[in-house]
Structure 1
Amino acid sequence: MNKSNPNGVDLLGPLEPGYRAILAPHALSFLIGLHRRFDSRRKALLEDRQKRQAEYDAGGLPDFPEETADIRASEWTVRPAPSDLKDRRVEITGPVDRKMVVNALNSGARCFMADFEDASSPTWTNMVDGQINLREAIRRKIDFTDDKNGKRYRVSSDAATLIVRPRGLHLDERHMQVNGQPISASLFDFGLYLYHNHDALDVRGTGPYFYLPKLESRFEARFWALVFSHAEEVLGLERGTVRITVLIETLPAAFELDEILYELRDYCVGLNCGRWDYIFSYIKRLRGHTDRVLPDRSQITMATPFMRAYSKRVIAVCHRRGAHAMGGMSAFIPVKGDETANALAFEQVKADKTREATDGHDGCWVAHPDLVPVAKAAFDDVMTGPNQIDRKFAVTGSAADLVAAPDGTITEAGARENVDVAIRYIAGWLAGRGAAPIRNMMEDAATAEIARAQLWQWRVTGAKTENGIGLDASWMEEAINIAEAEILEDGQYRLSGPDEVKAAAKLMRELVLADDFDEFLTLKAYDQLTKGLQVSMRLTEFD
């Protein structure tokens, strides 16, 4: 165990070449200021989440807050988007490794969402290297050489607009401790990027743009507004220099769309339908409601009534408030060596993006550069201007619509797929890989969260498959054992190694068979990434 440093900062990750420039004392001072000013408020907000969960567990359901009815009823708009965020018809997302950063910026997409969160495993090297990669990309000093063909890639002159997603409020960055306490991962990611790049971004005619993940309430939105205001003041930036898009990927947030936009009206340019995490949040928050158990995750699509109500509400509220309504991620990726499967994947992406554009979304996400033209064509066919904010829709849908139980079935094949995909993904995550191609889909942490949440809920609620098979603890144990053995025996653990597969299966048993539901699997998995930390640098000049 390391003794804490009560009067300063401990860095517990190795200091690789280039790290001292990113983790310079002046940058750390900025992070420390954020930590000391906001960390207690962050922790109080996390406690509030658990208080609301207790209400849901007791039979309550989310609803529109009575005390903010005037905000929903009154007329107001958010600050207009900057010029390079007015057209966002296609955004590509992915982790912050060097190859992805270069390829995504050159992909032809309007924006690249560089993801420190669900598409990145939060190893120390991933997180700090990611900061270095983005810093160099902004200054056009980044390049990448493909080991296979020896070709060198640089960022093109018409690169995508860069947007950064920091990690969620629930996560700590254990490799940096202030007075013996880990700093918020959100503040670490946000603070380092803003501190090092706001000037260089301004020179390029753009700005510090962010996606905020997993917000659950207007109070969490207010937290971020205070963080932005404070950061801008410290750095001498004009109010509204920081611009953000909020991911609506939790069930409670869908009931406070107006309120979230209102709290962030000087900063927010839009909301995004984070569909996969939204499904996970539906399961998590309503886990005790036996009348709202979801069927196989493959049966939950954007045409499912509660998902449809959610996306339509996001569009209507956003356009009323002058904000972008961004569509969700299409997780399909090109299928090499199978022209039929590849054509089907492209057709599904085109259909998904056509629906989003027709509904009124102003843009969408894809996970692979080859799908940028497909998504762009879908929006070009429908959207004649840079966005569709001028298309106004009545804000419809009741609270009941947002929590309506969908039709569908639970199948043994679906349950076994949940086990298999979750183990494969978690193994890759433990090996340092946060975005993983599995069965021709690009999966991130939300996939594993849905899978393990469904398995836990099915077990706890006594669910049975359509053929009458009880998904009890013994079935879960056997299914995990079988999946682990098959993955190890067939050698298809190329995302990781056998040790990570075994660790992932062990973690799945703990999560699925636990009496209580774990809020995020990444919290448990992070324990394994941060074993045996040792102080690499100790600074005491921050007394």
Structure 2
Amino acid sequence: MKTPSSPSFVTRLLDDDHLAALEELERATREERTTLLQARKDLARRVRAGEDLDLLPDTREVREDVSWRVAPPPADLTYRLVELATPATAEAAKSALSVGADVWVADLEDMLVPTPARLLAAHQVIEETAATRTGDAAPGVPTLMVRPRGLHLPEAHVLVDGIPASASVVDVVCFLARSGRRLVDNDSGPYLYLPKLESWQEARWWDHLLTRAEELLGLPAGCTRVSILVETVQAAYQLEEILHAVRDRVTGLTAGRWDYVFSHLRTYGHRPEHALPDVDAFTMNTRFLRTYTELIVRTCHRRGVQAIGGPISLSASGPFDESVAMTHARVHRDKAREASQGFDGAWTLHPALVPVVRAPFEARDERVGTGAEDRLQDRDAPRPEVVVDPLALRDVSSLPGTATLTGMRTALRSSLTYLTGWLAGEGTVTIAGHIEDFGTVELSRMQLWQWMAHSERFAEGPTMSTRLLDRMLEDEIALLRRRGAREELLAHAVRLLRDSVVAEEAPPFLSVLAYEVLVSLDDATEGAPAA
């Protein structure tokens, strides 16, 4: 294995045998990964040409076969009312272990800036946390889950045959090699949250990856269990097929609400009839999003999987005052809606909101006299067919609200603020009372692109144009300068954002382009003479 810089962070995490396993696993999965990424491009091209997403005719038998169910969950993943998702940092881990969450999702994807130093520290924190996880013998300690980077992301600091390795492969090997055996021996296991899946074939790729990783690392077959974030519109049409592909590993499906909206824009944004209003103008109760969440719940209940509600990004820091009380009320309403829909639990991004998220689910379970474990034990009960309504899944015609100049300015400000902070190493940023990660930028810039592509007329009268964009960018750049933003990072952030908004074809993931800038900044720092 070669690395573009020496020493690589993986050489500090893995011994020679584990490095050899990483190299073999990368080679074994690379061709199929390349094919899957090309399949994404091919489908996107067909949709731009007029094709609509729909159920797959070739997998009808999987959907109609009522006999199959997924494997029962492990003991420490049967009770998941509250899952706290934070970056995999020492500070976040300390908080996560003390606030009473049922699960801590240690994030290596949207919430962590993937520099070698931060990835090294993240895996060390994960290993330390794994040492505290002793299954049923450790009440009050949350179950550890790790969200690796998606299969579309490379790891530029690990080269195999001169090619950057898959970030997914690197994250999985580092986690399993450092913590897998300890977790298994402590009556738990290595548990993953799989992001950004778009097809059942991608789920199968993950299953093959994990099967081979367990073999190479000497772990029990099937010990690595997964939950899946339903973050793409493509996956919504293949939920049963995805579950079937990982039926011996899967434990849950989780709604990734705003990533899902981003995916809709990325898929259908070129069509004028799919123009979205300001995202703050519509809620999860609109037909477009309620259809998506109800589909997740029905599919999970049919196949014996836990359904986990999506995160709400509100922050609740500081003394308990009127604004914090209003935040608590909004979170409670959102989680009460999910509890009434049949979700088994939900994500939160802020430690202080753990008890607020928990309350509606506990109240629901107490009222009906059942919990997640009871529902999962009823494995032989007949389940109705899940009917997927393709029109409802892509129907945005009834979304309330309009596009506004305020919404445009908010999208620009949050994107520039986050990108500048991200390039400086901040994986999450609190902006206007919301905890934002890279998903914020992806959604905001995609909405700006759509408004630009269709010359959207805002409620206040002006039409979206490069001239209007540049005028507003000047205002936001001046504001960030007054707030002390680093000039060179701000310049990169502006270029990344503007280029993605004015592009004839929107880049699928801005995170890939931002990562290239991040790597170039790291390389420039390493090449600078010592002071």
Q: Same fold (TM over 0.5)?
A: yes
Offset from partner CA, 1:442-486 (integer Å, 9 cap, x none): 111111111000001110112111233101111111111211111
Which residue number corresponds to residue 176 of structure 2? 194
Q: Is the counterpart of residue 413 in structure 1 residue 398 in structure 2?
A: no
Q: Distance in 1 between matches of 2:187 and 2:140?
A: 13
Which residue number corresponds to residue 344 of structure 1? 326
Kindly state the Cα deviation for residue 121 of structure 1 after the two structures are TM-superposed.
1.1
Q: Is the counterpart of residue 44 in structure 1 residue 35 in structure 2?
A: yes
Contact in 1 for aligned 2:189/2:224 (Cα 8 Å)? yes
Choose from 201, 209, 212 the match for 1:227: 209
Q: Distance in 2 between matches of 1:9 and 1:96?
A: 26
- Matching of residues 55-454 of structure 1 within 5 Å: 55-75=46-66, 76-140=68-132, 158-336=140-318, 339-384=321-366, 385-387=370-372, 388-389=375-376, 395-405=386-396, 406-407=398-399, 408-454=401-447
Q: Distance in 2 between matches of 1:338 and 1:271?
A: 33
Q: Give the letter aligned to residue 442 of structure 1.
A: I
Q: Is the counterpart of residue 509 in structure 1 residue 498 in structure 2?
A: yes
- How much identity, in percent, do the aligned residues show? 34
Q: Distance in 2 between matches of 1:421 and 1:461?
A: 22
Closer, same or farther: CA 21–526 of 1 in aligned 2, 3 Å: closer
Closer, same or farther: CA 300–328 of 1 in aligned 2, 3 Å: same
What is the number of residues matched between the two proteins? 509
Which residue number corresponds to residue 480 of structure 1? 473
Q: Give the letter aligned to residue 448 of structure 1.
A: V
TM-score (norm 2): 0.92
Q: Distance in 2 between matches of 1:535 and 1:426?
A: 19
Which residue number corresponds to residue 145 of structure 1? none
Q: Give the letter aligned to residue 18 of structure 2.
A: A
Report which structure shows greater RCO (CA 8 Å, sep ≥6). 1
Q: Give the letter aligned to residue 467 of structure 2.
A: S
Q: Give the letter aligned to residue 140 of structure 2.
A: D
Is the deviation greater in 20-29 or in 250-259?
20-29
Q: Distance in 2 between matches of 1:26 and 1:481?
A: 53
Kindly state the Cα deviation for residue 372 of structure 1 after the two structures are TM-superposed.
0.4
Kindly state the Cα deviation for residue 131 of structure 1 after the two structures are TM-superposed.
0.6
Q: Is the counterpart of residue 33 in structure 1 residue 24 in structure 2?
A: yes
Contact in 1 for aligned 2:237/2:388 (Cα 8 Å)? no
Kindly state the Cα deviation for residue 506 of structure 1 after the two structures are TM-superposed.
2.2
Q: Is the counterpart of residue 526 in structure 1 residue 519 in structure 2?
A: no
Offset from partner CA, 1:422-451 (integer Å, 9 cap, x none): 101111111111111111111111111110
Q: Distance in 1 between matches of 2:405 and 2:157?
A: 41
Computed over aligned residues only, the root mean square deviation of the Cα atoms, in angstroms, reads 2.0
Q: Give the letter aligned to residue 161 of structure 1.
A: T
Kindly state the Cα deviation for residue 375 of structure 1 after the two structures are TM-superposed.
0.7
- Stretches of structure 1 that go unaligned for 5 or more consecutive residues are 1-7, 142-155, 537-543
SS class of match (1:269): strand
Contact in 2 for aligned 1:86/1:386 (Cα 8 Å)? no
SS class of match (1:437): strand
Kindly state the Cα deviation for residue 9 of structure 1 after the two structures are TM-superposed.
2.1
Contact in 1 for aligned 2:194/2:228 (Cα 8 Å)? yes
Which residue number corresponds to residue 146 of structure 1? none
SS class of match (2:182): helix
TM-score (norm 1): 0.90
SS class of match (1:325): strand
SS class of match (1:107): coil
Closer, same or farther: CA 476–20 of 1 in aligned 2, 3 Å: same
Contact in 1 for aligned 2:129/2:144 (Cα 8 Å)? no
Kindly state the Cα deviation for residue 73 of structure 1 after the two structures are TM-superposed.
0.9
Q: Distance in 1 between matches of 2:139 and 2:55?
A: 46
Which residue number corresponds to residue 23 of structure 1? 14
Offset from partner CA, 1:228-276 (integer Å, 9 cap, x none): 2212222343332110001110010000000000000011111110111
Q: Distance in 1 between matches of 2:129 and 2:227?
A: 21
- Which structure's residues are more often helix, by fraction? 2
Q: Distance in 2 between matches of 1:312 and 1:465?
A: 32
Which residue number corresponds to residue 500 of structure 1? 489
SS class of match (2:157): strand
Q: Distance in 2 between matches of 1:236 and 1:282?
A: 41
Is the deviation greater in 403-412 or in 308-317?
403-412
SS class of match (1:265): coil
Kindly state the Cα deviation for residue 515 of structure 1 after the two structures are TM-superposed.
1.8
Q: Distance in 2 between matches of 1:118 and 1:201?
A: 25
Q: Distance in 1 between matches of 2:524 and 2:160?
A: 15
